[in-house]
Amino acid sequence: MRTSQVINFCFTILSVSVVAFSLFIDVNTELYRLAHLYDSAFCFYFFIDFLINLLSASNKKDYLFKDLGLLDLLSAIPVVTEIRFLRIFRIVRLIKVYFSFQSIKIYVNRNIYQAFYVSVYLVLSYVIVITSFFVLHFEQVNGNIKTAGDTLWWVLITVTTVGYGDYFPITPQGKLFATLLILCGFIAFGTFISFINNKLSRLGREKNN
């Protein structure tokens, strides 16, 4: 199993969770719009992944039909109200996830160093999505984070520790989730620096040898 497959595995669970959540909320709310924006981003990622797999496949027909590549393409269609029935194809990704557990265990055991860095950013992805929904839920009535667009902008400037201050939570619940996001941003930034340092150190040792 490759690193990209592990990322796909985790993003599949997250994207299906977002779609499942959107089933229980009003389509006219900002929470639904936020879910739709996240779903569109995941679909774009899965579509690019589909194209890469298709172009790299030695037998494109086998990939499309025997390896369920065609269903991968259908599951990459965003959740648009008019074609909601296509959500059923997300189940295909869940089936693939079920049969990937053992492969992921093998990958982690063989690539502990790389798996650590990947896991940090995958956890950060989950925290970003979950935090944004909760903050929008708690802040849209009394705070100044009222729309899906406001929420995504706030998440971006918060996780990168920029903090312009134009949007910020004011409720206790919103501040709690904001604190979690800030801490995860610090950890992710530190992990990135560590990854770069290790890469440079390896290149230096290889050059000296």
The mean pLDDT of 124-128, rounded to a whole number, is 92
**Sequential DSSP letters for 132-154:** HHHHHHHHTTTSS--SHHHHHHH
Query: Does the pLDDT at position 200 exceed 70?
Result: yes
Q: Rounded to an integer, what distance in angstroms lies between the CA atom of residue 36 and that of residue 26?
A: 12
User: Model-level pTM greater than 0.95?
Assistant: no
Mean pLDDT of the chain: 81
How far is residue 166's CA from residue 145's CA, in Å, rounded to a whole number? 9
Cα distance between residue 19 and residue 36, in whole Å: 8
Q: What is the pLDDT of residues 7-19, one digit of tens each?
A: 877 888 888 888 8
**Token pair of 146 as six digits:** 């009222």
Domain ranges of the chain: 1-110, 112-192
Which three-class secondary structure state does DSSP give residue 43?
Answer: helix
Closest CA to 120 of 46, 38, 184: 184
- For 155-174, how does the pLDDT look when each residue is reduced to its tens digit (9 = 90+)? 999 988 787 778 889 999 99
Top-level CATH class of 112-192? mainly alpha
**If you ran DSSP here, which 8-state letter would residue 145 be given?**
-
